[in-house]
Amino acid sequence: QQISTLRDSYFSTATAASSSQRTSLRIPNFIGGKFVDSQSQESIDVINPATQEVVSQVPLTTNEEFKAAVSAAKQAFPSWRNTPVTTRQRIMIKLQELIRRDIDKLALNITTEQGKTLKDAHGDVFRGLEVVEHTCGMATLQMGEYVANVSSGIDTYSIREPLGVCAGICPFNFPAMIPLWMFPVSVTCGNTFVLKPSEKDPGAAMMLAELATEAGLPNGVLNIVHGTYDAVNAICDDEDIKAVSFVGSNTAGMHIYARASAKGKRVQSNMGAKNHAIVMPDANMDATLNALVAAGFGAAGQRCMALSTVVFVGGSKPWEDKLLERAKALKVNAGIEPDADLGPVITKQAKERICRLIESGVQSGARLVADGRSITVPKYENGNFIGPTILSDVAADMECYKEEIFGPVLLCMETDSLDEAIDIINRNKYGNGASIFTSSGAAARKFQTEIEAGQVGINVPIPVPLPFFSFTGSKASFAGDLNFYGKAGVQFYTQIKTVTQQWKDLPSGSGVSLAMPTSQ
Ligand code: NAD
């Protein structure tokens, strides 16, 4: 009853088309299957980045409330782990259906809180939905191994078992996709979960919790707490949490990796990026330039797989002018407007930081061929907008190159050879993704072999793998052993038990041997 009341109020409030229809909403925690108002006196405003309107308020969850969430997850675990995997899968089959039903509402909430265009927000939900679809085959995904007769009358087999309570800490840039990278895989493996969404845009995660409940996920299997550093540290320190999934910046990710690992937890930490594209002169020019513009400026550059640096090789250098034309043709507007190609960046502080990095590039000798810093967008004069910006003649020692900018800023570099271009990328500390555009199989194969990045695109600008593979960032873009989703995701959320069984008629009087048993 309580859930349906809140569901109505949450969905209608969070997705109201205009602020006049919307009453200010303090986001509840979600504990033991109930939406519970936090008793905390402190909260953070969730702000629409296109308008600066306060959409809702996120409480800084108290320690008691956090403990209650972990306790609910711990209590739910014994019966959930013993629930047949086929039943768990069926809940995911229902969940994917409900996400499809409500995809427009989810997308609208994402656009309101995060700023990206509605079409892009649909993509955000859809890429998460694909992970839910993948978990519908969990029985097959967690099959163990069996070897009969490893010794006379003895068989050995392995089984994958859930870990217990797991936790997830999310960034702002994909408010639906990243929670969906985490809890569906974890709970379908038989774990229970405590999720902390980004304090900047928690709405989509709340809607997903409502949908998971409607799909039949039992109380306590998924819990949501809000907050920032204290909630994160509480997750890292809690003895009952066995594994932590993190996606976000390097500062937070390395802190969480160190602190949670020190408490004996498994951690998978996906972090920052500086993704490069190499453009060879034999590439298809139009297709390449379109791909560069889409992957550089889509989502206002706030994707961890955004292509933020282009390395033009040899005869492709003059294409830079055409890149500029395409960038200038993009329409900057609030994400809710149908003609918007890119929306605002997430906060005023993010805008200031991006503008500072652009300026540092100029000061250190880069050429500012497109400057989006002083753009104003009619009707949305208060929005955190930055237009497509291109810095040319960028060198590897510039701050704008070394730092992840995370905004609509494309850096251009030039080299004479593919070897030099690969060398630039390999010397960069990040290793999330890298792409090459070429019509030469030999160049593509050399790139694939020599490049030090976890996700490689060949004529593909944003090579984010579908969920039957894993998201495989490397170098400073990832800490841990087992990546998100795919086979590795299932391995992350399960531990292996290896059973050795003996069923044979033992001859009487065979005596006792204290020697180390060996295969007979
Ligand atoms: P962020 O690190 O600021 O925040 C992520 C989460 O960590 C939030 O829930 C936040 O509350 C918490 N947090 C922030 N600072 C913290 C600290 N010092 N100690 C403890 N907790 C802290 O990241 P963001 O700005 O929300 O997201 C953008 C970053 O995420 C970019 O660096 C981007 O590349 C990265 N990202 C990476 C991937 C990937 O898969 N590699 C995907 C998406 C985003």
DSSP 411-457: EEEEESSHHHHHHHHHHSSEESEEEEE-S-HHHHHHHHHH---SEEE
Ligand 1 atom nearest the C-alpha of 251 is: 18
What tokens were used for 117? 């265009």
Which of the following is catalytic: 304, 355, 400, 412? Answer: 304
Who lines ligand 1 at CB under 6 A?
A: 169-174, 196, 198-199, 228-229, 232, 247-249, 251-252, 255, 270-273, 304, 404, 406, 432, 471, 473, 477
Using most ligand atoms within 8 A of CB, pick from 200, 249, 270, 357 the residue to mutate for ligand 1. 249
Alpha carbon of 99 to ligand 1 centroid (Å) = 25
End-to-end CA distance of the chain: 63
Q: Nearest C-alpha to atom 16 of ligand 1 is from which residue?
A: 252
What tokens were used for 493? 């959320």
Per-residue pLDDT of the chain (520 residues; tens, 9 = 90+): 333 334 444 555 555 444 444 456 899 999 999 999 999 999 999 999 999 999 999 999 999 999 999 999 999 999 999 999 999 999 999 999 999 999 999 999 999 999 999 999 999 999 999 999 999 999 999 999 999 999 999 999 999 999 999 999 999 999 999 999 999 999 999 999 999 999 999 999 999 999 999 999 999 999 999 999 999 999 999 999 999 999 999 999 999 999 999 999 999 999 999 999 999 999 999 999 999 999 999 999 999 999 999 999 999 999 999 999 999 999 999 999 999 999 999 999 999 999 999 999 999 999 999 999 999 999 999 999 999 999 999 999 999 999 999 999 999 999 999 999 999 999 999 999 999 999 999 999 999 999 999 999 999 998 999 999 999 999 999 999 999 999 999 999 999 999 999 999 887 887 898 999 898 8
In sequence order, the 6+-apart residues with CB closer than 8 A to the CB of 141 are: 134, 135, 487, 490
Q: Nearest C-alpha to atom 39 of ligand 1 is from which residue?
A: 270
Alpha carbon of 152 to ligand 1 centroid (Å) = 54
DSSP type of residue 330: P
Alpha carbon of 346 to ligand 1 centroid (Å) = 13
Alpha carbon of 87 to ligand 1 centroid (Å) = 34
What tokens were used for 200? 């900047």
Residue 448 corresponds to which amino acid? Answer: Q
Ligand 1 atom nearest the C-alpha of 227 is: 11
Q: Nearest C-alpha to atom 24 of ligand 1 is from which residue?
A: 171
Q: Nearest C-alpha to atom 3 of ligand 1 is from which residue?
A: 249
- As a three-state string, the secondary structure of 117-178 is CHHHHHHHHHHHHHHHHHHCCHHHHCCCEEEEEEECCEEEEEEEEECCEEEEECCCCCCCHH
DSSP type of residue 272: -
Pairing of strands 241-247, 165-169: parallel
Q: Where are the beta strands (DSSP E) in 272-431?
A: 275-279, 307-313, 367-370, 389-392, 409-415, 430-431
Ligand 1 atom nearest the C-alpha of 471 is: 40
Interface predicted TM-score (ipTM) = 0.99
Q: Nearest C-alpha to atom 9 of ligand 1 is from which residue?
A: 198
Alpha helices in 102-117 (DSSP H): 103-114
304 has catalytic annotation = yes
pLDDT at 12: 53
| CA distance linking residue 326 with residue 238, whole number of Å | 50
Alpha carbon of 294 to ligand 1 centroid (Å) = 23
Ligand 1 atom nearest the C-alpha of 170 is: 9
What tokens were used for 54? 């306060």
Alpha carbon of 172 to ligand 1 centroid (Å) = 7
Ligand 1 atom nearest the C-alpha of 228 is: 11
Alpha carbon of 272 to ligand 1 centroid (Å) = 8
